Copies of this chain bind each other. A is one copy, B any other.
Amino acid sequence: MELKAIYQSVKQDLAKVEGQIKTVTEVDFPDLAELLKHILLGGKAVRPALTFLSARFYNYDLDLLLPMATSVELMHTSTLVHDDAIDNSSVRRGRPTVNSLWGEDRAVLLGDYLFAKAGEFAALTGNLRVIRLFSQTLQIISSGELKQTFDAFKLEQSRERYFERITSKTASLFSLSTQSGAILSQAPEESIQALKGYGTNLGIAFQVVDDLLDFTGTEGELGKPVGSDLAQGTLTLPAMLLLEQYPEDNPVRELFDNPDMPEAARQGKIKRAIDMVGSSSVERECYKVASDYCDKARRELESLPDKPVRKTLVEIADFVVSRKN
């Protein structure tokens, strides 16, 4: 199923988020406006969709939901801008990154600006619980990214550490998106917790698939080069499984043991790791892990009222393990 079809019920509200984001680009500082226009295009709008859908079980109040949905999308964008600056990435969503066009320094400041803008939209909800959650989520994301830098090029990492890291850097924002929708629709506490659990497990599954696509996708599908994680020294689940299955003569081990190897040799190792993922059981095993998390996500929905939106959230979980980009 296509995302567009899944989103049908919140299509109009997602268009309003786009409208809000367009107002963000209208600033009286032409250089900043140019940066904002460049970065605030595209995106799958998964997170704002989750905020809207999570609010459909109880009192759907667009005046509160629209700023929050805009906030989670802006926060997502700001983390991408900083990530790309930190990783020196040159392409994202098929377009040059801010850091590659305007330099890392401006990317840092643009990301700061977007964080602040996201915070302002969160504040527009007037809901203190949501506002606190917003700030806490940003702490969790940045400390997760920080963990990733300290773990870079380390071969000895537990599976637990990997899940802890992706829960911080990805699932926390999914969870903010669903929780905030629940809170702003005055859902009972039990439902808030269920939607929080749904968002967290969905986010973990999403990131596991993301980490797999970094091996099995194409640059055209991903909008960025394949093998980026290995190039950054980030040990993801597919790489962990490769290390377990091929303890000897392993390109991941060789790469991580020699992070300063020449570029051509490095590319060779990455290519070989990609081939090994393709010809082994790693892909299947990763999908199994992602599916298990999606099952957990789906089970969280069982306690929620039996409304059509429940089916939509199930479809999103299905989409996450079938997506190609």
Contacts and interface: CB of A to CB of B under 8 A. Distances in A.
Interface of A: 27, 29, 31-32, 35, 82, 85-86, 103-106, 108-113, 115-117, 119-120, 122-124, 126, 128, 131-132, 134-139, 141-143, 145-147, 149-150
B150 A109 contact: no
B128 A109 contact: no
Contacts of A29: 143, 146-147
A115 B109 CA distance: 12
Contact of A109 (B32, B110, B126, B146): B146
How many copies of the polypeptide does the oligomer hold?
2
A142 B29 CA distance: 12
Given A29-B147, A82-B108, A116 B132 contact: no
Contact of A86 (B109, B115, B136, B145): B109
A122 B132 CA distance: 9
A116 B138 contact: yes
A31 B150 contact: yes
A136 B32 CA distance: 15
B106 A104 contact: no
A138 B121 CA distance: 13
B112 A138 contact: yes
B85 A146 contact: no
Given A29-B143, A123-B131, A136 B149 contact: no
Contact of A82 (B27, B103, B109): B109
Nearest to A105: B86
A194 to B, nearest CB: 25
A113 B32 contact: no
A131 B125 CA distance: 11
A265 to B, nearest CB: 24
25 contacts: A27-B143, A29-B147, A31-B146, A82-B108, A82-B112, A86-B108, A103-B149, A108-B111, A109-B142, A110-B146, A112-B138, A113-B139, A113-B142, A113-B146, A115-B116, A116-B139, A119-B134, A120-B135, A120-B136, A122-B135, A123-B132, A123-B135, A124-B132, A128-B128, A131-B131
